[in-house]
Chains A and B, each alone.
Chain A
């Protein structure tokens, strides 16, 4: 069974500095997708970045980049130039194949709570 591990329950970062949130995964499926979501205290799920297992380059979206190391099965999120508004829960997730029509379900890691200090 697929599994996602986030080993950092909480992280602090100084405003304007970069921070790396760790994520490792385990799957036997050669085709998979990895996602990062941000969840502020309001509870909404905000999509940040996606990496496909066959993508040759690391994904980037503005201040977010994904350090994808396939052999090590890790997909760490790097947030550059942290802002106060980045304080939130961050979840790593993996798309798992489900059903005969390939309707994929997402499984989530345990999350990392990031607090940005002014």
Chain B
């Protein structure tokens, strides 16, 4: 149980366009979703935390207007990269805490974004 489905797995888009990444909890209600970005051979850096029904909390240095996060329901959180540029090319991965489980987290399978 506690599966998060992330789509798309990979996407290529042109500079200046927007891309939406979805993370959907399949068998539990995710009141919180963490969004990470990972550049090649680097660590996962937390970008923001979304909570169902409220505004997302962004980490320092992350542009709120560029990375739009929406958590409109208990089963869906989305990250939209607006006006994408080549430097936004990265691996994006979502994660939800599992409050009934000490080991606590389930991860999406990640989205590899390439901006050309």
Chain A positions within 8 Å of B, measured between CB atoms, are 33, 35, 42-45, 47, 50, 52, 91, 95, 98-99, 103-111, 113
B83: min CB distance to chain A, Å: 25
Listed by A's residue number, 9 A-B pairs whose Cβ atoms lie within 8 Å are A43-B109, A43-B110, A43-B112, A45-B44, A45-B93, A45-B95, A104-B97, A104-B104, A105-B46
The interface bits of chain B over 33-52 (1 if a CB of A lies within 8 angstroms of the residue's CB, else 0) are 01010100111111001010
A45 to B103 Cα, complex, angstroms? 13
Q: Known: A43-B109, A106-B95. Contact between A95 and B46, CB under 8 A?
A: no
Contact assessment for A52 and B104 in the assembled complex, using a CB-CB cutoff below 8 Å: no
A117 to B68 Cα, complex, angstroms? 43
Contact assessment for A111 and B43 in the assembled complex, using a CB-CB cutoff below 8 Å: yes
* Cross-chain contact of B107 among A33, A44, A98, A107 (Cβ < 8 A): A44
Q: Which DSSP category, helix, strand, loop or mixed, fits chain B's interface?
A: strand
A109 to B45 Cα, complex, angstroms? 9
What are the residues of chain A within 8 A of B102 when measuring CB–CB? 33, 50, 52
Chain B positions within 8 Å of A, measured between CB atoms, are 31-32, 34, 36, 38, 41-46, 49, 51, 57, 91, 93, 95, 97, 102-105, 107, 109-110, 112
Contact assessment for B103 and A103 in the assembled complex, using a CB-CB cutoff below 8 Å: no
Q: Known: A50-B102, A95-B104. Contact between A103 and B97, CB under 8 A?
A: yes
A104 to B34 Cα, complex, angstroms? 10
B79: min CB distance to chain A, Å: 16
Contact assessment for B32 and A103 in the assembled complex, using a CB-CB cutoff below 8 Å: yes
Closest to A6 in B: B43
What are the residues of chain B within 8 A of A99 when measuring CB–CB? 49, 51, 57
* Cross-chain contact of B43 among A47, A104, A105, A109 (Cβ < 8 A): A109
Given contacts A52-B102, A104-B104, 18 further A-B contacts (CB under 8 A): A33-B104, A35-B103, A35-B105, A43-B38, A43-B91, A43-B109, A43-B110, A44-B110, A47-B103, A95-B104, A98-B49, A103-B49, A103-B51, A106-B46, A107-B46, A108-B43, A111-B42, A111-B43
Contact assessment for B43 and A106 in the assembled complex, using a CB-CB cutoff below 8 Å: no
A47 to B95 Cα, complex, angstroms? 12
